[in-house]
Structures are given as C-alpha cells and as structure tokens.
Amino acid sequence: MNTALIIESLTAVQRAILANEANIESLDRAIGDGDHFINVRRGCEVLVTLSPDLHDMPPAVALQKIGLKLLGTIGGASGPLISSFFIAMGKSLDGHAEPDRKQFAAAFAAGVEAIKSRGKADVGEKTMLDVLIPASRLLARLTDEGAPLPALCEQMTEEAERNMLATKDMIATKGRAYFLGERALGHIDPGCKTCQVAIATVCNTVLAKETA
C-alpha cells in the first residue's frame, strides 16, 4: 500500500458513495439525523481536492493529513470518529514508506480501535463498528494466514455486507437510532452501509491495481 493507491482508493470511494446516495440517505432518514450522507459526501469531496497535495507524502503522513482535514470538514457525530480512524492509521504506519499487508492490517485495526475508543461503542450496538470491527479482525486473520489477494478481497467484501445486513435485527444502544428503541428494528444502520460501500470499493481498487 503506497500513497498513490490510497489516493486512487479515495477517489473510487467518492464515486461509489455518490452512486449510493439514494440508498444511504433513505437509511439515514429512517433512523438517523438526516445529515449523515451530506457529511460523508462533503468529506469525500474535500479529500479528492486534497489529493494533489498528498502525492509526495509517505502513507503515514498522508493519512494523518487526511484525518486532520476531515476533523475540520465533516460535521455531526461521524466527523471526529472518521478523522480519528485516519489519524490512528497514519500513526501506526509511521516509518513505513510502503507498508506491506501485515502493516496495513495492523494500521486498519488501530484506526478501528480509535473509533471504538472515541465513540465508546462496540459490536452489537448498531453503529459503523458492526461492520468495521469484524472486517478488521478478518483482515488480520487472512493476512496472517497469507491468503491470496483475490480470496482476501472477496471475503472482506462478503464480511462487510453480511454484517451490514445484520444491523437490521439490532436495537441501537448508541447514536441517534438509540432514541427510537424497537422502531429501529428492520432498518440497516446508515453508517454501516457507508462502511460496506467503502470496504467493497477499496477491495476492488486494490485488486484491480495488483492484477493489472
């Protein structure tokens, strides 16, 4: 994973988020505060604009710069969480000019742990962590096992979708949906949908790059 691939992935994620606008917005209207998609779209647009400034930076510095930029860009509850994810990833990769898969998996885990710590949430509470924590654990396991990239990407994509769909059957104990109680049942968490789209898109981008 190098900075060029990070930039390419961010651009692809922006396109994917825009392509899923109607779906994410409808989910947020159902159980959220209605501004999740607006904030995520704003963050994606800012990162694409920031991309030219990142090219000559090592991944650690680029990721921390991304996180700091998002901190001042994304509003709502998700802004500090997403920014802390990128900052923690960057700190984990400090000193690695071109991180290998194990180093990237460790950085991803550090980013997820930062969200968990800042949001004081865990699996089963109908938040973005219901996708991110299982994905992080799977990435670490598959990397340790030396799984081929196509199998790794396929399983990561499937894991993200499975856990995103599982939030339909959860009662939220954190976030805006917490106040809805059982009325949130039957609805997918919008943050989980956003994370599922992002994970699938990054997997497709990385796979296409390495198999080109």
Cα distance between residue 178 and residue 10, in whole Å: 30
DSSP string computed for 134-155:
HHHHHHHHHHHHT--HHHHHHH
| CA 47 from centroid of its chain's CA atoms | 14
Cα distance between residue 51 and residue 146, in whole Å: 31
Mean pLDDT of 100-120: 94
The residue among 205, 198, 209, 206 whose CA lies nearest residue 160 is 198
DSSP string computed for 45-97:
HHHHHHHHHHTTS-HHHHHHHHHHHHHTT--TTHHHHHHHHHHHHHHHTTT-S
Check whether 181 has a pLDDT greater than 60.
Answer: no
End-to-end CA distance of the chain: 15
Higher pLDDT, 202 or 31: 202
Q: Which pTM does this prediction carry?
A: 0.90
Q: Which two three-digit tokens encode residue 195?
A: 């994370």
Cα distance between residue 12 and residue 146, in whole Å: 26
Q: Which of 15-29, 119-133, 139-153 has the lowest mean pLDDT?
A: 15-29
Kindly give, in sequence order, each residue whose CB lies less than 8 Å from that of residue 187, ignoring residues fewer than 6 positions away: 27, 30, 31, 167, 168, 177
Higher pLDDT, 103 or 45: 103
Q: Can you list the domains of the chain with their CATH numbers?
A: 3-211 (1.25.40.340)
pLDDT at 75: 66
Mean pLDDT (the chain, rounded):
87
Q: Which of 21-35, 120-134, 143-157 has the lowest mean pLDDT?
A: 21-35
Check whether 206 has a pLDDT greater than 50.
Answer: yes
